[in-house]
Amino acid sequence: MARRPLKRAAAASTASSPAARIVGLDALRGVALVAMAAYHFCFDLRWFGLAHWDFEHDLRWVAARSLILGSFLLIAGASLVLASQRADAVRVFVRHWLRIALAALLVTVASYAAFPQTFIRFGVLHAIAVTLVLALPLVPRPRTAFMIGILVVVAGIVVADARFDAPMLHWIGFMTHRPATEDYVPLFPWSGVLLAGIPLGHALLRRGPGALARVARLPSLVPLLGRHSLLVYLVHQPVLIALLWLVTRR
């Protein structure tokens, strides 16, 4: 199913060969990872009783989470476009998707072991895995992807219907209240952000490998983190929790 949209995307691009990796995009992803780790560290401080911030209701924390999450999804949409230019685009997509899907399953299992009452049923990795598949037909259509993305975001913000409060429908969105879970990233509105990243990916293709040059000049560790974002995402919380546990045990 992925083959035709990916081929059409490659044909529609102005590039005649697979796109070179854009270091600046890796750096942006690395910055988002650092911000995410800082946010989770603050969250863990509260979990250990060392802080008392209100992550659920304080608008500053809510805005911080939304900005970090939106950054990851926007970059995921742009990266989907860049990956579509490779000669082995189908194989790369399938391999990348399987990694994300397996990581999402691992997050669900691990969070159930740690938080059986509030484990992660549909978090950021689950949302990315589903939206990447839904976004494939729109990869060669950046304007359409952007318009649909905006509609999805707006609908996810303004529409609330009690019928979507049913547990089996939580992944869609439109709920009247947030479910009790450690991470919740429903398709409405968040899949719209990934779709909005598709025109960004096309813009980066037009600019070429030199796009985001200023961001690319960040210390080399930042884009390195961005290139291994899935691994960093999976290990950073266990590491932070282990360190805090060691500190508080003294």
Report which DSSP code applies to 21: P
State how far the Cα of 95 lies from the Cα of 74, in Å rounded to an integer: 20
pLDDT band at 212 (very low <50, low <70, confident <90, very high): confident
Retrieve residue 150's tokens.
């905006």
Give the model's pLDDT for residue 75: 97
Beta bridge partners of 122: 184
Contact 102, 219 (CB under 8 A): no
State how far the Cα of 179 lies from the Cα of 209, in Å rounded to an integer: 42
Contact 81, 198 (CB under 8 A): yes
Taking only the tens place, the pLDDT of each residue in 131-181 is 999 999 999 999 999 999 999 999 999 999 999 999 999 999 999 999 999
State the Rg of the chain over Cα: 19
Contact 127, 145 (CB under 8 A): no
Identify the three-state secondary structure at position 127: helix
Give the model's pLDDT for residue 20: 55
Beta strands (DSSP E) in 168-225 are none
Helix-strand-coil split of the chain, %, nearest 5: 70, 0, 30
State how far the Cα of 74 lies from the Cα of 225, in Å rounded to an integer: 17
* Averaged pLDDT of the chain: 91
Contact 2, 84 (CB under 8 A): no
Q: How many other C-beta atoms can be found within 10 angstroms of the C-beta atom of residue 54?
A: 11
* Amino acid, single-letter form, for residue 84: S
Work out whether the CA dihedral 211, 91, 198, 176 comes out positive or negative.
negative
Tell me the pTM: 0.90
Give the model's pLDDT for residue 109: 97
Retrieve residue 27's tokens.
């750096």
Arithmetic mean of pLDDT, 221-239:
96
Q: How many other C-beta atoms can be found within 10 angstroms of the C-beta atom of residue 8?
A: 16
Three state DSSP letters for 80-125: HHHHCCCCCHHHHHHHHHHHHHHHHHHHHHHHHHHCCCCCCCECHH
Identify the three-state secondary structure at position 173: strand
Percent of the chain with pLDDT over 90: 84
